[in-house]
């Protein structure tokens, strides 16, 4: 008897000469793009802000152009079938989507109800759902005592953890993850990577800071401006052969690669960072210091002070007690801590947006750049938003150029990529003299490598001009690169207040707060002994 040959297994996801254009746009956001994701393959999608990464993911289940207005050409197959053969919601049994903004996934229920939503809609037996919810919470690192909490009471990072648990409960074999670690603490991000990028997983992940996950990636696909593939291959080959092109495209590179590009006469591209430091001449220590630490700024008068402050969100319980701190002109303060530690609440108190429940706040007025950049927008175009600051037309043009927004100046702010929205919201606060105190809440979320570097330079320039700046972040390397001083919040109190490099070398203290040392920790330790 002749055996029937096995049918070929279709790719999990396939883009064939796909172009995507948003309604009202004068050019394509993506394409033409052709690449496929095999079953069991973990693909990292790289690209600058606005290169079309999120749009590519939205198209994978037909959200673009069915729910997000636009046009698509080319063939897009999911599980071997045309994506248009089903409505976007009907692909939930095949493909799960972890959005860049958890608000796009969560409906405002309790934590338990959010996680149960997908299996309930899949008609899973009611007797099985409590076990699925409990298991998903455990895997995502969510305490069971959160089960009855309303989503509205959670921090941005905590909501992202619930969105992850809901994705796990959905149980789809293909996962799309759009900057899943942008708003979460490093140890939580590591747990997320373990779940989303386990061997054998079929995952496309977008990540602007890929260093921590590169060892879990099978293949990288890099998009340039215009949404076309500029490089593709295994991570190590991509960095070795295309590092310069990736950097020029605004893509963030791991620290070891950046150091090689900055000092090719001293560092071999095949070396690990540890080996490179072992051979690095101590006489060249200044080059390494300048690569990872900011140039010191002479600080001035105290701008804002909290004295014995108990901090609480509006209508919520006290989350921080007896906080005393001052922020000076010319100072950049990094506010660090695990998700839910009270960082955003402290920012609101320090800026004067909300009064402390006990103690007092004194000083000049401050402004907060919120985690959700859309909260800052009220005009019909990017240009109109900047014009609302009251500057002359020449200065408006300069600001648009400074923040990389000139190409989208006539677009509505809500149509921008997440990184572009972030840059606009920061510009609206930074490019005015109204606020001597600026507090930036997760400012690097959604920013590409070039935009993050430009933001760091702008933060230091504003400090040099006499602003006092606090930066809330989970990006430890960014904190090291911009902040003179660091504040560590954990368990309702301030556990550290001192020089930022000193905290970054204290691995035990960081671990106790669920944080990990920055990539640059090896260099900080080397500088401590070499200088």
Annotated domain spans of the chain: 7-94+174-253, 105-171, 262-292, 302-365+435-530
Can you say whether the dihedral through the CA atoms of 139, 145, 148, 150 is positive or negative?
A: negative
d(CA 280, CA 267): 8
Token pair of 354 as six digits: 């909300």
The pTM (predicted TM-score) of the whole model is 0.78
- What was the pLDDT predicted at 8? 61
Which of 60, 149, 43, 48 shows the shortest CA–CA distance to 99?
A: 60
- What was the pLDDT predicted at 486? 97
- What was the pLDDT predicted at 184? 74
- What was the pLDDT predicted at 376? 93
Alpha helix positions (H), 67-155: 111-121, 129-140
Full 3-state SS string of 410-466: CCCHHHCCHHHHHHHHHHHHHCCCCCCEEEEECCCCCCCHHHHHHHHHHHHHHHHCC
Residue 455, CA atoms < 13 Å, CB-side half-sphere: 27
Whether 28 and 227 have beta carbons less than 8 Å apart is answered as yes
- 7-94+174-253 in CATH: which number? 3.40.50.300
- What was the pLDDT predicted at 271? 66
Task: Assess whether the region 7-94+174-253 and the region 302-365+435-530 belong to the same CATH fold.
Answer: yes
- What was the pLDDT predicted at 531? 59
The rounded average pLDDT for each run of 10 residues, N- to C-terminus, in the chain (531 residues) is 58 94 85 93 90 92 93 95 94 91 80 93 91 94 91 84 93 92 78 90 89 88 88 87 84 76 68 74 79 90 96 89 95 93 92 94 92 90 94 94 90 85 90 90 82 88 94 91 95 94 93 88 83 59
Full 3-state SS string of 323-340: EEEEEECCCEEEEECCCC
Top CATH class of 302-365+435-530 equals alpha beta
Q: For residue 428, how far is the Cα from the chain centroid?
A: 20
- What was the pLDDT predicted at 58? 95
- Return contacts of 84-88, CB within 8 angstroms, 24+ apart: 86/62, 87/62, 88/61, 88/62, 88/63
Q: Tokens 């690095």 appear where?
A: 280
- What was the pLDDT predicted at 86? 94
- What was the pLDDT predicted at 213? 86
Which of 255, 207, 247 shows the shortest CA–CA distance to 231?
A: 247
d(CA 363, CA 360): 10
- What was the pLDDT predicted at 128? 94
What is the SS3 assignment for 343? helix
């Amino acid at each position: 008897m002749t055996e029937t040959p096995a049918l070929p297994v279709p790719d999990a996801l396939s883009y064939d000469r796909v172009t995507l254009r948003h309604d009202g746009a004068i050019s394509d956001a993506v394409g033409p793009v052709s690449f496929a994701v095999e079953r069991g393959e973990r693909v990292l999608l790289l690209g600058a802000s606005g290169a079309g990464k999120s749009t590519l993911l939205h198209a994978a289940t037909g959200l673009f152009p069915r729910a997000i207005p636009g046009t698509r050409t080319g063939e897009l197959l999911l599980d071997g079938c045309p994506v248009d053969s089903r409505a976007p919601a009907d692909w939930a049994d095949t493909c799960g989507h972890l959005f860049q903004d958890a608000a796009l996934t969560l409906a405002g229920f309790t934590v338990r109800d959010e996680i149960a939503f997908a299996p309930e809609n899949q008609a899973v037996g009611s007797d099985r759902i409590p076990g699925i919810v409990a298991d998903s919470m455990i895997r995502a690192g969510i305490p069971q005592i959160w089960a009855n909490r309303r989503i509205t009471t959670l921090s941005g990072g905590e909501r992202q953890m619930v969105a992850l648990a809901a994705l796990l409960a959905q149980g789809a074999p293909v996962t799309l993850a759009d900057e899943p670690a942008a708003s979460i603490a490093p140890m939580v991000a590591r747990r997320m990577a373990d779940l989303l990028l386990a061997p054998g997983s079929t995952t496309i992940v977008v990540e602007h800071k890929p260093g921590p996950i590169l060892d879990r990636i099978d293949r990288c696909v890099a998009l340039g401006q215009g949404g076309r593939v500029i490089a593709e291959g295994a991570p190590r080959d991509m960095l070795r052969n295309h590092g310069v092109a990736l950097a020029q495209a605004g893509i963030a590179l791991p620290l070891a690669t950046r150091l090689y590009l900055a000092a090719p006469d001293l560092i071999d591209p095949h070396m690990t960072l540890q080996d490179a430091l072992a051979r690095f001449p101590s006489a060249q220590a200044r080059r390494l210091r300048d690569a990872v630490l900011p140039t010191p700024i002479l600080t001035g008068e105290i701008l804002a002070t909290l004295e014995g402050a108990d901090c609480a969100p509006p209508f919520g319980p006290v989350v921080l007690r007896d906080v005393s701190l001052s922020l000076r002109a010319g100072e950049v303060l990094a506010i660090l801590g695990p998700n839910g530690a009270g960082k955003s609440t402290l920012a609101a108190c320090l800026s004067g947006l909300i009064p402390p429940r006990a103690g007092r706040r004194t000083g000049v007025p401050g402004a907060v750049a919120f985690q959700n950049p859309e909260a800052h927008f009220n005009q019909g175009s990017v240009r109109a938003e900047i014009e609302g600051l009251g500057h002359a037309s020449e200065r408006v043009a300069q600001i648009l150029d400074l923040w990389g927004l000139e190409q989208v100046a006539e677009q509505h702010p809500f149509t921008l990529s997440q990184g572009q929205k972030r840059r606009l919201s920061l510009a609206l606060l930074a490019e005015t003299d109204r606020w001597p105190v600026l507090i930036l809440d997760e400012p690097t979320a959604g920013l590409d490598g070039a935009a993050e570097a430009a933001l760091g330079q702008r933060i230091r320039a504003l400090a040099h001009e006499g602003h006092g700046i606090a930066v809330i972040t989970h990006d430890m390397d960014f904190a090291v690169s911009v902040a003179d001083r660091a504040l560590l919040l954990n368990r309702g109190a301030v556990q550290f207040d001192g020089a930022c490099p000193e905290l970054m070398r204290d691995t035990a203290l960081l671990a106790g707060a669920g944080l990990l040392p920055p990539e640059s920790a090896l260099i900080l330790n080397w500088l401590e002994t070499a200088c």
